[in-house]
Amino acid sequence: MDALAITCVAFRNARCPIITGASRAVSTATLIRPLVYPRGARHRDFPNLVAMNASASSVLLRLRWLQLRSAAPGYGVPLMAAAAVAVVWLLSNAVLNDASRAPYIAGGAVLLVSGLHQRRADLHFLHRHVPRARWAMALEYGVLVLPVLLGLLLGTAWAWAVVVLLACALPWLPVVRSSGVRAVWLRKWVPAHLFEYRSMLQSTYPWSLLLWLAAVAFCWLPLLPLFLVGIVAMMAVGAQEQCEPRAMLLAAAPDARALLRTKVLGSARLMLFVLLPVLIGATIFQPQWWWIHVLFGMGMVVLVAYAVVLKYAHYRPNERLSANGVNMGIAMVFSILPGLSLVPLIMLLSELRNARVNLTTYFHAHHH
C-alpha cells in the first residue's frame, strides 16, 4: 500500500479530528472518500493520486485542499481567493493610512494562529501518523497568515511582516493541553438541564469570561461594551448547534412543551444575567442611549431564545445542525438593526410550532 493510502486509512481509522473537528458540517466519510477514491476518478487517474507523497511537508495543505474541494461548491474556491485578495487590499490600505495599526494586525494574526495551534484537536494524531508533522503544520500556518503577511509587506511594514512569520515557528513551541474541566466554579451556576452552556464554557473559557469582564470594565465607552457582550451572546447562540442524544432530551423534561419552556426561559434568564450588568453600566455612563441598550438587550435575549427554538425545530439526536447557521445569521443581522429587532421575534414565534411538533415525535409515548 502506498504512503498516501496508508495515511488515508490511518486518518479514517483514527476518526481523525483534523477532519471531524475542522469541518464538522461534512461527514468524515465524505471528506475521506475523495482521498482514497476521488469522486468521478477513473482507474487510470489513481496513479496521479498515489504519486502524492504523504511524507512531504505539504501533506496537510493537500488534505486541506481536498477538504475544501469536497466541502465547498464549485464557486467556493474562487470566492475564497477573492476574499483573500480583499483581505490583502484592506490590510495594506489600513497600514498605509496609519502605520501604528501594523503591530495590532501582526500581533492579532500571531495570537490567532497561536490559539488555533494550542487548541488543535488533531495535534497528537499528526505527531503520531504524519512524518515531519511540525513542518507540515508550519507550512499550513504560513499559508493561513499569507494574506496578512502580504498586506503588511504592501503596506511597507517590514518589521511587522517578520513578526507575522513567527506563526510558522509555533509548531515547535510546547502545547499546554488541559484535558481537565474548565470553569468548574462558573459551570455550577448553570442549571443541569442547560448543559449546552456548560459545554460552551468548556470550549470558550477563559475567553468568554474575559470578554464579559472587558465589557463590564469598558462600559463607560460607547458601543464597545455592546460589541463585546454581543460576542458572548454569539457564543451562547453557537452552543445551540449541537443536538443532545435522545436520552438527555427525554431526561430534561416530561414533554415537548415543558422542554421548550424550561430551555427558552432558562436561556433567557442566563442571557439576562450576562447582559444586565453591562447594559446597566452602559446606561449609567450613556443615559441618553438607554433605549438603544434596552433594544440591544431584548434583541440578544430573543436571538438566543430563537437559537434554542430553531435547534429543537430541526432536532435530530446527536447531530450538529450547521445548516441552522443561515437562519441564525439572518436573525443576528436583524437583531442588531434598531427598529428591526421584531423580526427575530417573529422568526422565533413561527418556529415555535415546528419545534413543538418535531419534539413531540420524540416524546410521543407520553401521549398514549
CB of 124 vs other proteins, minimal distance in Å = 13
CB of 316 vs other proteins, minimal distance in Å = 11
CB of 179 vs other proteins, minimal distance in Å = 6
Nearer Cβ to other proteins, position 26 or 96?
26
CB 232 within 8 A of CB 313: no
Nearer Cβ to other proteins, position 5 or 252?
252
3-state SS record for the chain: CCHHHHHHHHHHHCCCHHHHCCCCCCCHHHHHHHHHCCCCCCHHHHHHHHCCCCCCCCHHHHHHHHHHHHHCCCCHHHHHHHHHHHHHHHHHHHHHHCHHHHHHHHHHHHHHHHHHHHHCCCHHHHHHHCCCHHHHHHHHHHHHHHHHHHHHHHCCCHHHHHHHHHHHHHHHCCCCCCCCCCCHHHHCCCCHHHHHHHHHHHHHCCHHHHHHHHHHHCCCCCCHHHHHHHHHHHHHHHCCCECCCHHHHHHHCCCHHHHHHHHHHHHHHHHHHHHHHHHHHHHHHCHHHHHHHHHHHHHHHHHHHHHHHHHHHCCCCCCECCCHHHHHHHHHHHHHCCCCCHHHHHHHHHHHHHHHHHHHHHHHHHHC
Nearer Cβ to other proteins, position 122 or 140?
122
CB of 208 vs other proteins, minimal distance in Å = 13
CB of 248 vs other proteins, minimal distance in Å = 6
CB of 20 vs other proteins, minimal distance in Å = 11
Nearer Cβ to other proteins, position 30 or 199?
199
Nearer Cβ to other proteins, position 187 or 257?
187
Nearer Cβ to other proteins, position 121 or 294?
121
Binding site for other proteins (CB under 8 A): 179-181, 187, 192-193, 195-196, 198-203, 242, 244-248, 250-252, 254, 317-318, 362-366, 368
Nearer Cβ to other proteins, position 46 or 195?
195
CB of 34 vs other proteins, minimal distance in Å = 27
